[in-house]
Amino acid sequence: MALSGGVDSSVAAAELLHAGHEVVGITMRLWGGDSDTGCCSVADVDDARRVAQQLGIDHLVFNFTDDFHEHVVDPYVQAHRDGITPNPCIECNRHLKFHRLSERADLLGFDAVATGHHARIVQHDGVWRVARGHDPQKDQSYVVHMLPQRELARTLFPIGHLTKAEVRERATALKLRTAAKPDSQDVCFITSTGGRTEFLGTRIPFRRARVVDAVDGTELGEAESLEMITLGQRRGIGLPGGGPKRYVVGIDHATATVRVGDESMLDVDTMRVGDMVWSHEPLEGEVRVQCSAHGATNVATASVVDGEVRLAWHSPQRRVAPGQSVVLYDLTDTFVLGGGIAR
Amino acid sequence: MSAFTYLDHAATTPMRPEAVDAMLPFLSERFANPSGSHRFAREARTAVDDAREVVAEVLGAAPGEVVFTSGGTEGDNTAVLGTVARRGGTAVCPAAEHHAVLAPVEHVHGVVVASTPLGTVDLDALAQVLRDRPDVSVVSVMAVNNEVGSITDLAALAAVVREWAPQAVLHTDAVQAPCWLDLRTITPLVDLLSLSAHKFGGPKGVGVLVARQGVAYEPMVIGGGQERERRSGTHNVAGIVALAEALRATDADRPSELPRLTALRDRLVDTLMAELPGVHETVPRAHKVAGSAHLCIEGIENEALLFLLDEAGVCASAASACAAGAMEPSHVLAAMGVPRELGLGALRLTLGRTTTDADVDRGADAVVTAVQRLRRGRS
């Protein structure tokens, strides 16, 4: 059981025990640098350990800081350098929780790895699927979309059938010290005081960007740091207030140019998705597509072209920033078919 | 037969029964504060002074040179920070030192000198620093390395320090020494020496800082002026009494324990090296204390190994754990030049007073089984 020190994984461990499993709590130490919000501060490890003690299970801390750097932090920095908007929490799930940890669990003779995600694992037509969690507000199927059959068969999400309110009720009933702990929201290696700018600013050189009108090419101003700008962004691009709302509709990394225009210029009819991981096997046809952690889904027709997935939207959709995860669900919007990275 | 096999005596030792017996009255009816002026207080004061004499005798020091502390870290911190606070100047220690010395040396912007592949101080590098830095006020070098068990040649070290930095105070962290070395041979070589009771069958939370006659430092804990103004705070009477009894018994048992534990350790290491390929002794046995086995095992990660050993009922250790409890890559192995990859497979097995033949058999079995399983899983 991956114990982060939060309320979800605390209750998940209790649920597993209740179901009769033999449970060992593992906290992964991932980030050695400054942190104030994340899942691996010493205070959070203390909470995880105390919960394990309260539940009467063993608790261990595994040091995966090297892997975290290699698979999450370094690619995060490199992506910004390349003008891409990455999702580090998804990469952490992919490489740490559902790879490094499950590999270690195998080696040590565990049958399954459990986490406190709000998602469910179901069998549908004899195939394992990640299904949406019971609580629509908290559903995390998007961030665990990358689980293939082999992992799905031995992964458990013990609180996927509960709402967040029910999770907190159970934690309170069990007198767990995490019962009232606020949810973590942010990227664990970015401090709330310094933010993304400080983190990236000490690791990569920022380039000044020319801001131009997307229609006629008129020079409108200059932005501090090209690497901090994301497609669809409206604030912080060095434009004076008032006037019509202008959005970033294009970023040319080579020439350090940011093109701005009105919102409709962000709309597209198609998009490409690379690095696709299918839950079972590749599928084509009508699907529902989710492009952010708590975003709405929209219908598209998927086709596989040259190893990439091409999505044709049924109605024009806002362009997705390259680097973001794009997750395909079945048409009833119940379970994940697969997911990849927006190109 | 005990339910588990304890091979982690360098982390802490089980208390000696005679030390437990010695301390119990001071936790109940003999509870008085030794600084008081009534008969109960005098009785407690007598117990502390008796303990001080016992400790002084085992250390080859004068009773007035024995300062009771809260443990090894306090003694180490006081030696470095207290000396620099009193005399200014630069603190120096080697890279493979315990963090209780390393952290205060870095805190006062001291100099960290190289360690040898044995984990001991590089005397040439030290001499160079002492020649270059006439302001060195304290040199701190551990007597026995807590991780890999290597023994410092304190006579050679003292010769270098006295030659090149006669003004400097020489401190040794001797926390890992009492079970293995006759402290009477060490104390005369140094100015300050720290000990911790729980490493030799005493309780946790009590220790000794020996400050030789005429060696002054700024006290780190000030207030009531106990311990001749060198360490304030009400005496931990029960702890001090138990420390003295544990130290006396450890010193008395040493001549018979050394050959017994050397033989057990040798059998443990020889068995592991015979049954498992790719096992390296981190420090040759001639350079280390009797109870210590430290191995680097190829092709495994010690976090996984320790889990399997724990499951098999064997208490062992790798490097030191961080504040969160995760295994950290060892700064000692890094200082010795052990490649990081090999260091990930570091395993420390440390024997002590309660270790038996059966413990060695079970420990060796468990390590062999666990390593084979982990290697199979990886291939």
User: For position A188, what pLDDT does the model report?
Assistant: 85
Residue in A with minimal Cα distance to B373: A107
On whether both B367 and B325 belong to a single domain, the answer is: yes
User: For position B2, what pLDDT does the model report?
Assistant: 54
On whether both B263 and B228 belong to a single domain, the answer is: no
Min CA distance, A114 vs chain B (Å)?
18
On whether both B179 and B283 belong to a single domain, the answer is: no
User: For position A176, what pLDDT does the model report?
Assistant: 95
User: What is the overall mean pLDDT for chain A?
Assistant: 92
On whether both B68 and B166 belong to a single domain, the answer is: yes
Q: Which two tokens stand for residue B196?
A: 């911790």
A188 noted as active-site residue: yes
Q: Which two tokens stand for residue B289?
A: 């204390």
On whether both B51 and B193 belong to a single domain, the answer is: yes
A107-134 pLDDT, tens digit per residue, is: 999 999 999 999 999 998 899 999 999 9
Structural domains of chain A ordered from first start: 7-116+158-173 (3.40.50.620), 206-261 (2.30.30), 267-342 (2.40.30.10)
Measure Cα distances from A327 to A105, A213, A297, A330, B3 in Å.
27, 32, 9, 10, 51
Report which of A296, A312, A293 is spatially closest to residue A304, judged by C-alpha positions: A312
In CATH, what number is assigned to the domain containing residue B275?
A: 3.90.1150.10
Gap between the Cα atoms of B91 and B194, Å rounded: 17
B104-122 pLDDT, tens digit per residue, is: 999 999 999 999 999 999 9
Total domains, chain B: 2
Gap between the Cα atoms of B81 and B87, Å rounded: 10
- Is the four-CA dihedral A96, A98, A99, A103 of positive or negative sign? positive
Percent of chain B residues topping a pLDDT of 70: 97
Packing angle between helix B237-275 and helix B17-27, nearest 10 degrees?
Answer: 150
User: For position B30, what pLDDT does the model report?
Assistant: 96
Nearest to B377 among A62, A65, A107 (CB): A107
On whether both B113 and B211 belong to a single domain, the answer is: yes
SS (HEC) of A125-158: CCEEEEEECCCCCCCCHHHHCCCCHHHHCCEECC
* Start-to-end C-alpha separation, chain A: 34
Q: What is the β-pairing status of strands A247-252 and A285-290?
A: unpaired
Gap between the Cα atoms of B269 and B295, Å rounded: 8
User: For position B322, what pLDDT does the model report?
Assistant: 61
Place of tokens 């040396």: B105
**B324·A45 Cβ contact <8 A:** yes
B136-160 pLDDT, tens digit per residue, is: 999 999 999 999 999 999 999 999 9
A207-255 pLDDT, tens digit per residue, is: 999 999 999 989 988 888 899 999 988 877 777 777 778 899 999 988 9
User: For position B324, what pLDDT does the model report?
Assistant: 62
Domain end (from B215, B250, B285): B250
On whether both B335 and B242 belong to a single domain, the answer is: no
Q: Residue B116: give the domain boundaries.
A: 17-250
A5-37 pLDDT, tens digit per residue, is: 999 999 999 999 999 999 999 999 998 776 555
- CB contacts of A65 in chain B (<8 Å) are 326
Domain end (from B250, B271, B288): B250
User: For position B321, what pLDDT does the model report?
Assistant: 64
On whether both B210 and B339 belong to a single domain, the answer is: no
* Start-to-end C-alpha separation, chain B: 36
Report yes or no: B317 and B306 within 8 Å, Cβ to Cβ.
Answer: yes
In CATH, what number is assigned to the domain containing residue B82?
A: 3.40.640.10
- Is the four-CA dihedral A146, A149, A151, A154 of positive or negative sign? positive
- CB contacts of A69 in chain B (<8 Å) are none
User: For position B379, what pLDDT does the model report?
Assistant: 59
Domain end (from B250, B273, B308): B250
Nearest to B327 among A42, A63, A108 (CB): A63
B65-82 pLDDT, tens digit per residue, is: 999 999 999 999 999 999
Gap between the Cα atoms of A80 and A207, Å rounded: 11
- Residue A40: which pLDDT band, with cuts at 50, 70 and 90? low
On whether both B221 and B352 belong to a single domain, the answer is: no
B190-222 pLDDT, tens digit per residue, is: 999 999 999 999 999 999 999 999 999 999 999
Residue in A with minimal Cα distance to B309: A108
On whether both B168 and B91 belong to a single domain, the answer is: yes
- Please report, as a single letter, which amino acid is at residue B352: G
On whether both B196 and B327 belong to a single domain, the answer is: no
On whether both B118 and B90 belong to a single domain, the answer is: yes
Min CA distance, B357 vs chain A (Å)?
28
Average pLDDT over residues B300-306: 94
User: For position A39, what pLDDT does the model report?
Assistant: 47
Residue A142 falls in which region: left (phi positive, over 0), alpha (psi -120 to 50) or beta: alpha
pLDDT above 60 (res B320): yes
Min CA distance, A56 vs chain B (Å)?
16
3-state secondary structure (DSSP) of residue A173: helix
- CB contacts of B378 in chain A (<8 Å) are 107
Gap between the Cα atoms of B76 and B49, Å rounded: 23
**What value does the CA radius of gyration of chain B take, rounded to a whole number of Å?**
21
- CB contacts of B325 in chain A (<8 Å) are 27, 45, 49, 60-61
Measure Cα distances from A111 to A98, A151, A289 in Å.
14, 11, 32
